[in-house]
């Protein structure tokens, strides 16, 4: 009598005294994952383990992380541009006072990072 797993085409391999099912994850296109995707992956592994496991076993984890990374990157650059415009951080300031421009841009980037982390990465 074959098990349901064997009836569906599954096979087993003898490991010591036990027969273990031969399980293989579905193949998935390997897309590059940037810093935002890596942060979200770490968050999923620590705080949303069931969701992470479902993505992993369905073969959609890499695509999901690549999409999150793309969304976060686009939001980050859009926010930096919008905040810099709103606060008057311009190329003229950069030409006249580079250190002030650097300080203000660092503050803007930090603010944008916090927003992206809150809205996309740790959500």
Mean local confidence (pLDDT), 41-57: 96
> Is the confidence at residue 117, as pLDDT, over 80?
yes
Q: Quick check: 87 pLDDT over 80? A: yes
pLDDT of residue 22: 82
Cβ–Cβ < 8 Å for 69, 44: no
How many whole angstroms separate alpha carbon 38 and alpha carbon 29?
A: 17
List Cα–Cα distances, 29 to 19, 33, 123, in angstroms: 31, 12, 25
The predicted-structure confidence for 60-73, as pLDDT tens digits, reads as follows 999 999 999 999 99
pTM strictly above 0.85:
no
Kind plus residue range of the DSSP H or E element containing 18: strand 18-21
* Residue 95 confidence (pLDDT): 95
């Amino acid at each position: 009598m074959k098990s349901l797993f064997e009836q569906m085409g599954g096979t087993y391999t003898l490991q010591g005294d036990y027969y273990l099912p031969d399980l293989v994850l579905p193949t998935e296109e390997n897309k590059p994952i940037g810093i935002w995707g890596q942060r979200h992956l770490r968050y999923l592994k620590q705080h949303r383990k069931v969701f992470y496991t479902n993505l992993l076993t369905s073969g959609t984890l890499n695509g999901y992380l690549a999409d999150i990374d793309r969304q976060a990157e686009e939001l980050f650059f859009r926010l930096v541009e919008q905040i810099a415009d709103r606060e008057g951080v311009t190329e003229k300031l950069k030409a006249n006072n580079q250190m002030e421009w650097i300080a203000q841009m660092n503050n803007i980037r930090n603010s944008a990072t916090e927003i992206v982390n809150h809205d996309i990465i740790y959500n």
